Every structure is written in C-alpha cells, then in structure tokens.
Amino acid sequence: MLLNLNIIDLAVVDSLDLDLEPGMSVLTGETGAGKSILLTALGLALGDRADSGYVRPNSKRAEVNLEFDLGKAPLVKQWLEQQELDDDGHCLIRRTVSEDGRSKAYINNRPVNLQTLQGLSRQLVEIHGQHAHLTLLDREEQRRLLDDYAHNQELLEQLNTCYQSWKQAHKELHRLLKAGDDQAEREELLHYQLQELQQLDLENFDYQALADEHNKLANLGNILSVGQQQLAILYDNDQQSVTDMLGHVIHAIQELSQYAAEMNGIAELLTDAEIQIGEATQQLRRFLENQEADPQQLAWLESQIGVIQSLSRKHKCLPEELPSLAEQFAQALNTLSNSSERIENLNADCERLLSQFHALAGQLSDSRRKAGAELQQRISDAVKELGMPHGEFIVNIDSPDQAEPQRNGHDAIEFLVSTNPGLPPKPLSKVASGGELSRISLAIQVTTSTDKTTPTMIFDEVDSGIGGGIAEIVGQKLRRLSRNRQVLCVTHLPQVASQAHQHLFVAKNQKAAVTSSTVRRLTDEERVNEVARMLGGVTITENTLAHAREMLASGGLTEGVASIE
C-alpha cells in the first residue's frame, strides 16, 4: 500500500508531505482547489509523460516521491528481486522533471528507464478516472476487462504467441506461392547474374589492388624518366649531386668545429642526413632497375577493370561490393532451388499452428463464457443496487466456427445492457442516459476490482452524475472494497466522503504571490464541518451539522474515531 506521497515544486504545490493509511481515504475540497494535481503527481511518479509545465514557477525542477509497503504484495517483491531493485520489503519511487522538460526516474534510489517504472507501477496502483465510462465503450477494453476477470493472461499469451508464429509462416508461404509462377524465369536470371560475377575470381577479388597496379603500369614511362632524373640529382651527377654537395658541407662544418664546438651537433645531423640520402638513393636505384614494361599485363588489367566497372554500373553498387552481391545472388538461388521443400514444410507448419490456435481459442472461449456468466450476474446485481432495479447486464460473446486466426482469439465480445423491462439489451454506447452509463461504469469497475491483487486503487470522481441514496451505496461499496486493499477516492459527494476511514482536505492559498495548494488530514470535528459544507447551502446550520454527524456515524465514525473493518 501507499504509505507516503511527497511533492516538491509541482504546479500549484510548493511542498507536500502526506502520510496515507490502510482502508478508504477520500480527498475533498472546493472546485479548483487542486485535487487533480495530486492525481497528476501520482501519475507522473508512476510513469506518465513528463512536461516542463509541471514545474512550479521560479523553480528549477519538480519532484514526486512515493513510499510503498510491500507486506501484502509478494508478487511485487518478487518482481523487484528479479530486477535487482529490492530493498527489504519497501519500495521508494522518485520522479523528477527539470524546467527543460527532461525527467529522471528512480526505484529504491537506483535509476531506471520509463518502461521499467511503468512495469512496476501497474502492479502497485490502479487508477480509475472520471471518464472511465467513455473508455468502457471501446470493444477492446471490454474484452480486456473480461479476460482480466477470468485470469486469462497466461492462456492469452500462449494463444498470441501461436498466432504470431502462424501469421509469419502463412505470410512466407503466401510469398513463395506467389513467386512460384515466375520462379523458373527468376532462377535463370540469377544463374546468369551469378556466372557474370564469378568470372571475376571472387575468392581473390581485390579491386583496389587491381586499380593500383593498373595505375602503376599505365604511368611506368613517367615513373622511369622522372626517377632517373632524381637519381642523377641525388648521386650520379659528379659535379652537382646532392650527395657530393652534402659531403662538402659536412667537411666544411667539421673544419669549423675546431673553433666552435657547437658545430659538432650540426655536423652529426648532416652526417645522419647523408646516410639517409644514401639509403634512399640505393632503394630508388633498385626500384628503377626492377621495373619492366608489360603491355600484355596492362591490357589484361584494363580489360578486367572495364568488366568490373561495367558490372558495378549495371548493379548500381560500388566495385568493392560485387563479392557480397554475388553471395546474395547465391543465397537467393539456393532459396529458389529449395522453395518446393520449403513450401511443403511451411504448409505443415501452418496446419499444425492452425490446429494449435483453434484448440487454444476454444479453451479461451470456454473460459470467457464461464467468467462472462458470473461477471454479468455480479454486475447486474451491482447495477440494481445502484438504483436501476430493472437493470440487466449481459456479456455477449460471439464465436464464429473455424474463423481465420486473429490476435486475442475468435471471440467478438460486447457488453450489453437493458435498463427497463421488456426492452431488448443494447450496447453500452446506446444507453441514452449519462447518469445510467456512469452507474453501469461504476458497477463494472467495482465488481472487476474485487478480484485484483493491486494493493492500491484510486477512484477519481467516478461517482459524478450520481446523488442521493445511490451515492451512499457507492460509498459503501468503495468502503467494502477497501477491506483488503487501500482505496483513495476523489469525490464531491458527502455520502461517499462520510464512508472514509481517512478524510483529506485540499485548500487553495492565494495570499502569496504565487497560488499554492495544501492538503491536510481532517480531525473528527473538521470532518463534520466539511461534510456539512458538501451537503450544500450558503449558511451551515445546526440541522446541517446534525445531518453531517449522522452521516459520519452511519459511515463508521463512532465516537469521533474512524475504524477499519
């Protein structure tokens, strides 16, 4: 359960440190006081999208901290251990948002990504919004609710894994069958293209080496001519060779060194240069002596490079990519050659997977029908309690025989409702009254929540559009729901507020330069005043206060102390 909510510089909240208790807690306050910002803070900490607009004006960042007790959440503890995020039965979640909109998340003081945070949050808190009845109009959401109620998650996972395998095999089979019509033509083309490339001696293929050798042979005359000229300058010219002149310079410097010792270092450097020039001269001479024009090799190189460049242009690739292209052609040819065998194997796979899918889909349909019969009875009973004495809720499941596989099975699931006797059931989207839809939605949410293991449940004004005695029943149901989990409810109804074990009040402070909201737990007498305010009227009379005390007494406040069943 959620033990503590701590908020720093988030929207209208300057600083808030709120301790929460087991059972049912309600959050009330005037419209616009800031009740929604607490749910925004919870959503942000649990993985909702971050936004720079959340940061309080004149602040550098916003921060939300949640502390959970995992004493009654063994699956969450196990998950944290698997992720190496456990911390002795407690769980601390922290989320920060900077003024530039970037956010960071931490679980037990260890940084995590948003996906990991959301994976944990789904197991800790379940939020039912005030517009949940609109979500319930979606057929996929109705399917999900039924499967959650029936605990079909493992079966669904098996079925959808089978579906994905069948879909992939079926797609490949369809592609191979479609390609079979022009397979011979395609195979002939691949043979020809592969033979064209194989003439390049692909095992020893090195285009850059061929290009370098061609460039050398094509310019051999210039290489020999210029090389001989440089050789003469370096050594062979008796009058003005570099070697001869450098020798004279070294001799002259060495003569001067008897007068200036500093000349010795210069002489050594020049001597080293003379040695280097001598070695370079010898290498150049050997290189020139070993060069020999080879018109036949040059012609072969020009022919080979021409073929390579022609194939490169033909296949629209770089010359260096031709070997890998040949490998692709070989693989494609091998695939075509083995396509008949592959088609036979894929046919067998598709039949096997199809049979497996239909078996799993049948199990899933049976589970849904069994759970659907129970769920529709429980929701029908709840609808009647909520002021619709003739209301009937129906889970309609249509399962076509041997239909093509689909994700989540064959079944078309739709929630129907009949609100008056003699009228046929209609889809939820056809329910005329918004109040009726709100009550039906609430009945669904409360009924499907009783079998869940989520330790904390939050209801955000799900009682909107309801009043009078029905509102009292809603409060009783939420209180009953809190017997084995923590329930936090945002409400405007005194009938719901009076059922809570803990009453939190949100107030707006406009005295400062920047508006802020505060939250505090009400004392017993303050609860009486707040419930009286919620009952209405400009002036709170003794009669109103007496009514408020009566409601709180019937809701569980005995002798000023709230008790948990």
pLDDT score at 26: 93
Alpha carbon 225 to chain centroid, angstroms: 69
Residue 24 structural domain = 2-130+425-562
How many angstroms separate the Cα of 345 from the Cα of each of 172, 332, 342? 11, 18, 5
Mean pLDDT of all residues in 208-236: 86
Residue type, 162: C
Give percent of the chain above pLDDT 70. Answer: 91
pLDDT score at 513: 58
Alpha carbon 383 to chain centroid, angstroms: 38
Verify that 194 and 308 share a domain, yes or no: yes
Residues 252-310: tens digit of each pLDDT: 888 888 888 888 999 899 999 989 988 998 998 898 888 888 888 888 888 888 888 88
Q: Does 44 fall in a domain? A: yes
DSSP 506-547: EEEE-SSSS-EEEEEEPPHHHHHHHHHHHH--SS--HHHHHH
The closest of 95, 109, 106 to 48, measured between CA atoms, is 95
Lowest mean pLDDT among 267-271, 286-290, 439-443, 508-512: 508-512
The answer to whether residues 67 and 42 touch, using CB atoms and an 8 Å cutoff, is no
Verify that 117 and 214 share a domain, yes or no: no
Provide the mean pLDDT of the chain: 84
Q: Does 346 fall in a domain? A: no
pTM of the model: 0.60
Verify that 194 and 262 share a domain, yes or no: yes
Mean pLDDT of all residues in 199-225: 83
Contacts for 68 with CB less than 8 Å, ≥ 6 apart:
1, 2, 3, 76, 90, 91, 92, 93, 124, 455, 456
Verify that 107 and 202 share a domain, yes or no: no
Lowest mean pLDDT among 1-5, 225-229, 509-513, 555-559: 555-559
Q: Which of 317, 337, 357 is the last residue of a domain?
A: 337
Q: Between 94 and 123, name the one with better pLDDT.
A: 94
pLDDT score at 561: 34
Q: Specify the CATH number for the domain of residue 18.
A: 3.40.50.300
Q: Does 49 fall in a domain? A: yes
- The alpha carbon torsion through 306, 309, 313, 316 (nearest 10 deg) reads 160
Q: Does 54 fall in a domain? A: yes
The H or E element spanning position 477 is helix 468-481
Q: Between 175 and 364, name the one with better pLDDT.
A: 364
Per-residue pLDDT band for 560 (boundaries 50, 70, 90) equals very low
- Domain tally for the chain? 2
pLDDT(559) > 50: no
Q: Between 33 and 127, name the one with better pLDDT.
A: 127
Q: Does 70 fall in a domain? A: yes
Q: What 3-state class would DSSP assign to 18?
A: strand
Per-residue pLDDT band for 219 (boundaries 50, 70, 90) equals confident
Verify that 302 and 217 share a domain, yes or no: yes
pLDDT(34) > 80: no
pLDDT score at 133: 56
pLDDT score at 298: 84
The answer to whether residues 409 and 159 touch, using CB atoms and an 8 Å cutoff, is yes
pLDDT(558) > 50: no
Q: Does 383 fall in a domain? A: no
Q: Between 361 and 88, name the one with better pLDDT.
A: 361
pLDDT score at 200: 80
Q: Which of 337, 362, 390 is the last residue of a domain?
A: 337
pLDDT(401) > 60: yes
pLDDT score at 186: 76
Mean pLDDT of all residues in 310-331: 85
Verify that 195 and 123 share a domain, yes or no: no
Verify that 191 and 325 share a domain, yes or no: yes
Verify that 189 and 118 share a domain, yes or no: no
Residues 150-166: tens digit of each pLDDT: 999 999 999 999 999 99
pLDDT score at 564: 33
> 426-427 and 24-28: which strand pairing?
unpaired
Verify that 325 and 430 share a domain, yes or no: no
Mean pLDDT of all residues in 48-71: 89
Per-residue pLDDT band for 512 (boundaries 50, 70, 90) equals low
Verify that 58 and 200 share a domain, yes or no: no
pLDDT score at 498: 92
Per-residue pLDDT band for 181 (boundaries 50, 70, 90) equals low
pLDDT(434) > 70: no
Q: Does 69 fall in a domain? A: yes
pLDDT(24) > 90: yes
Q: Which of 277, 303, 337 is the last residue of a domain?
A: 337
Mean pLDDT of all residues in 490-510: 88
- Strand order through the sheet with 2-10: 13-19, 2-10, 61-69, 90-98, 103-107, 110-112
Residues 412-433: tens digit of each pLDDT: 999 998 888 878 888 887 775 6
Per-residue pLDDT band for 391 (boundaries 50, 70, 90) equals confident
Q: Does 471 fall in a domain? A: yes
pLDDT score at 58: 85
pLDDT(500) > 60: yes
Verify that 442 and 515 share a domain, yes or no: yes
Verify that 190 and 115 share a domain, yes or no: no
pLDDT score at 536: 79
